[in-house]
Structure 1
Amino acid sequence: MQILFFVVGASGPLYAIAGGVTATYAVTGVMGVPLSFVLLAPVLALFAVGYAAMSRYITNAGAFYPYVVNGLGRSSGVAVSFVALVAYNAIQISIYGLFGWSLSNWLNPLLGMDTPWWLWALVIALVIGTLGVLRVDLNAKVLGVLLVLECLVIVVTVVTLLGSPDGGGAPSLAPLAPSNLFTTGVGAVFAFSIAVFTGFEGAATYSEEARDPRKTVARATYLAVALTAMLYALSALAMADAAGPSNIIGAAQQSGPGLLFDLTATRLGGLFSSVAYALFITSQFASLLSFHNAIARYFFALGREGVLPEVLARTNRRTGAPAAGSLLQTAFGLIVVAVFAAFGRDPFTELFSWLGTMASTGVVLVMAAVSVSVIGFFRKRQHEETPWRHTVAPALATVFLLVIFVLIIWNFDVLLGTAGDSPLRWILPGILVLAGIAGFARASVLRGRKPEVYAGIGKAD
């Protein structure tokens, strides 16, 4: 259960719904957002089939990294590890922007003063960095309580909104119609939807700390996909019905993340809405903490094997947590927040949106590489897995993920809310490409200068 708390907590259900789903409606201008979750769930489940099967043979805190190493080779594995590090750091840091925006908008009226978003973003970055060196058990308890409260609020909200649609009458199923999804901007919808799912695959980063990783990793992954898909699809549909299917896009653009709480305030009262908003903030906190722990373990795994400086393999003597990786991730967050603040950039439409969409692009590409790796891994060794697990499901997942990746790149200007000729539409994906090239280069250097280190990269336990 502790791993499930971290995995679902990383997705931050309430933060994903109030922030991510609303942003999807507002930025893409597409009504069929609920259907995107319904369609993505089977794709992620297909991915999870091969991922879970391989997790029975790979026990490593680096998650995706050793999977690709053992399926496609060391150089490919290092390249993917660099892309994953950029993607996960991007999504972690993007949430600092949303958190700062959310907390300042909540506290400023209460305090009677105008506190800047970046102040709270820097504060939470320091808090998360401190908690990152604590034991997983302690953090799991905190995340578990928050997750249960979030789910209760979401269930009450969904039931209420579906029971009182705009204009009365029965709830509309128009947002689930394919014609309202497969239109201009469909790739952007999938990018945002993948972003709010991101974190479900993180169970493997805790495999070294699980009592029975062969069972718990697979179980946590399947449960995370099922739970989050159901919550997101129903919540997106409920929001559209409550605002009115024809009005949801305009309402999302006008109210932003506050839309969900505006809808609940008119139906459940200001007290419930205020409690829900407080949990919206703690949901972001839970997501920040979960991503931070996962990223710190990536740094730890790469440092331990000599791919990155060995100092990153240092752990806290008392708790055993990857302290060096935790501190480095915190430093990255502080620097990026400071840069955005110094240049007066918007924390929601720019920091949160730009880095979040870049992260989802990288995650889709990495997941496709992992699916191919599953096939390669089982072809090279004896095993007891069925063809469905070792070939069919991973092959289908690869095809679907690559299609989604192409759609995302095609609609990247929609994701950023910029003109089609904006350099940002190529710069941000280009960072991911450069990360992959840097990974291949690093692997090449290790192969030539430190063959013993290269030979030990990503070994299966």
Structure 2
Amino acid sequence: MTEHTATSRPPAVQVSTLAKRTLGVPALVFLIIAASAPLTVLAGGATTSFAITGQTGVPVGYLLLGVILGLFAVGFGRMSTYVHNAGAFYAYVAAGLGTRLGIGTSFLALMTYNAMQIGIYGVFGFTASSIIADLFGVTLAWWVCALAGWLLVAWLGVHRIDLSAKLLAIIVLLEFLVVIIVSLLSLTTSPEGVTAAPLLPQNWLNGSLGALLAFGMAAFMGFESGAIYSEEAKNPERSVARATYIAVGIIAVFYAASSWALAIGLGPSQIVAQAQEWGPDLVFVFLDGKLSGLLVNLAAVLFLTSIMAALVAFHNAAARYFFSMGRAQVLPSALGRTGRVSGAPVVGSLVQSALGLVFILVFAIAGAGSELGPLFPVLTMFPWLTNAAGFGLVLLLCVTSVAALQYFNREPERHPLFARTIAPLLAAIGLAVIAVLIMFNFDVMIDAEGSTALVVLLPGLILGSAVVGLIWGEYLRVKRPEIYDAVRQANIG
């Protein structure tokens, strides 16, 4: 690449080098937690889980998932000390189960992260439109607001990752503050008293556990993303694993505590009915009258920035999967180019942004004149894509646990029994059960009444991406063995 070419096409790009040693443990933790968006989980995820499952045992679901994912993190974190690659899942599976399965996993990961990131634009556009209407009396179509958010995400995606990390750190800290305030107000309000009723076995061991786990999984989306930044982390041999453990613990305990507090604030006997009536607005309805109008409005704006934080986090993850696969030439090598100054995966970021733009426009056209009105993106784009992504994530975690099991047991003397066998095996079993539960509850999760084809189509697309990846891996093995062998050598670990 000549100097003239590099300076005439900003941002200038080079091949295969991400920014080195820019992220410490705190930055990694913020990037991880931003993907699960604390305020979005409480206002959107927890209330939806209360409403659809009809049970008060939502906090227990978060705790149980925390245990399963904590077990997963043991093998996952240990793998991060041996294999450093921006395509974490694909690299780990390739190292543990072989190159063909690794390439299949890379396609599954690409589909999963892109589906999650793009689906969130639906709820972002609706929320931004609603807030602007409430605060300024101006009515904007959801897709106009989604495009504004898309533009900001696209801009951040081609700049240094530590810029995104600093922005996300501020947003996440403010989110935690709002959720803590809601929780304290809930405990001081407690119309039925502070009680452990939501945690009692009869409120989750009654046939609803599967749905609670299926819905709760969305709260942990992105907890594994620390490994994606391993090439950009300071001391990745220790920082990635440490950040993952911290994030899983914080997410599980904090979300369980805040959802329990919300149930106490509304009253355990009323939380389900209230959630079914108000949905994601429940938290702000609860705050109305307890805080000044200004503070309630600020909380609503933070809800929007919470969604933006998740968009940025998943965009970064998807862009790095594109980068990793382009660098390995599993996909076009242009995807492996990074900015000379920023070290960001510029081409992968632009491709992810292009996909987001296409889907926003497609759903904008499809929703024109819909009987669903302004709720169209919240009832279609958001649940369809994000729940499909949740299913894909569970499959990724399950396969990665099996890969860790295989990888560590090649040299059992180097790894303790718990890390090499017990934790990965229990995690794989638990995650396989959750995957089955999601399949059985998928119609409820996407509210598929009258649209039953989606119950098969959406999970089928997720599984189909893995099959396409396996076929592509076999093609590379036969027709492009030099690429196939290079992937194998790069991920021996």
Asked if Structure 1 and Structure 2 have the same fold, meaning a TM-score greater than 0.5 normalized by the shorter chain, the answer is yes
Does structure 2 retain, via aligned residues, the 8 Å contact 1:82–1:435? yes
Match of 2:20 in 1: none
The amino acid that maps onto 2:360 is: V
The residue aligned with 1:401 is: 431
Q: Does 1:257 align with 2:280?
A: yes
179-188 or 428-437, larger mean C-alpha shift = 179-188
Asked whether the 8 Å contact 2:193–2:264 carries over to 1, the reply is no
Q: Does 1:342 align with 2:374?
A: no
Q: What are the ranges of 5 or more consecutive residues in structure 1 without an aligned counterpart?
A: none
1:25-424 aligned within 5 A: 25-165=50-190, 167=191, 169-344=192-367, 346-381=376-411, 384-419=414-449, 422-424=452-454
1:420, distance to aligned residue in structure 2 (A): 8.7
Aligned-partner residue type, residue 359 of structure 2: V
* Residues 362-371 or 225-234, more deviating: 225-234
Q: C-alpha separation between the residues in 1 aligned to 2:114 and 2:50?
A: 25
Counterparts of 1:216 and 1:304 in 2: how far apart (Å)?
24
Farther off after superposition, 145-154 or 268-277: 268-277
| Structure 2 CA distance for aligned equivalents of residues 154 and 106 of structure 1 | 19
Compute the displacement of 1:177 (Å). 2.1
Structure 2 residue matching 1:271: 3-state secondary structure: helix
Query: C-alpha distance in 2, partners of 1:363/1:394?
Result: 16
Secondary structure at 1:315's aligned position in 2? Answer: strand
Q: Which residue of 2 aligns with 1:432?
A: 462
Match of 2:16 in 1: none
Note the C-alpha offset of 1:287: 1.2
Provide the TM-score with structure 2 as the length reference: 0.90
Higher mean alpha-carbon deviation, 21-30 vs 95-104, is at 21-30
Instruction: Output the amino acid matched with 1:333.
Output: G
Give the Cα–Cα distance (whole angstroms) in 2 for the partners of residues 368 and 191 of structure 1. 15
Structure-1 residue corresponding to 2:7: none
Task: Report the more deviating stretch, 235-244 or 126-135.
Answer: 235-244
Contact 1:185 1:414 in 2 (8 A): no
Cα distance between partner residues in 2 of 1:64 and 1:237:
33
Aligned length: 459
CA positional deviation for 1:185: 4.7
Residues 13 and 24 of structure 1: is their aligned pair in 2 closer, same or farther, counting only changes over 3 Å?
A: same
The whole-number CA distance in structure 2 between the counterparts of 1:103 and 1:383 is: 55
Kindly provide the CA deviation profile for residues 343-372 of structure 1, in whole angstroms up to 9, marking residues without a partner as x.
116111221112111111110111000000
The one-letter amino acid paired with 2:320 is R
- TM-score, with normalisation over the residues of structure 1? 0.96
Return the alpha-carbon distance in structure 1 between the equivalents of residues 120 and 262 of structure 2: 22
User: Which residue is equivalent to 2:491?
Assistant: 459
Matched AA of 1:14: L
| 1:154 shift after superposition | 1.4
Q: Does the 8 Å contact 1:53/1:390 carry over to 2?
A: no
Distance, in Å, in 1 between the alignment partners of 2:69 and 2:76 is: 10
Q: Deviations over 1:64-113 (max 9, x none)?
A: 11000000111111111111111111111121111111111100133323
- 8 A Cα contact 1:53 1:385, kept in partner: no
| 2:440 partner amino acid | W
Give RMSD over aligned pairs. 1.6
8 A Cα contact 1:9 1:283, kept in partner:
yes
Shift of 1:184: 4.6
Is contact 1:154-1:231 (8 Å) kept?
no
Cα distance in 2, alignment partners of residues 181 and 90 from structure 1: 30
CA displacement 1:8-53 (0-9 Å, x = unmatched): 1111111121112122222333322111001111101000001011
Q: Distance in 2 between matches of 1:7 and 1:115?
A: 32
Q: Is the 8 A contact 1:87 1:360 kept in 2?
A: yes
Within 2, Cα distance between the matches of 1:150 and 1:139? 16
- Return the alpha-carbon distance in structure 2 between the equivalents of residues 269 and 113 of structure 1: 22
Shift of residue 247, structure 1, vs aligned partner: 2.3
Return the letter of the residue paired with 2:285: D
CA contact (8 A) 2:29 2:226 kept: yes
2-side partners of 1:383 and 1:360: how far apart? 36
Distance 2:199 2:116 in 1: 28
Q: Which runs of 5+ in 2 are unaligned?
A: 1-25, 371-375
Supply the distance in 1 between the matched residues of 2:486 and 2:267 (Cα, whole angstroms).
57
1:237-276 CA distance string (max 9 Å, x none)? 1222222223222222222211111112232332322221
Given the superposition, is the C-alpha separation of residues 389 and 87 from structure 1 closer, same or farther in structure 2, using an over 3 Å criterion? same
Q: Distance in 2 between matches of 1:420 and 1:173?
A: 38
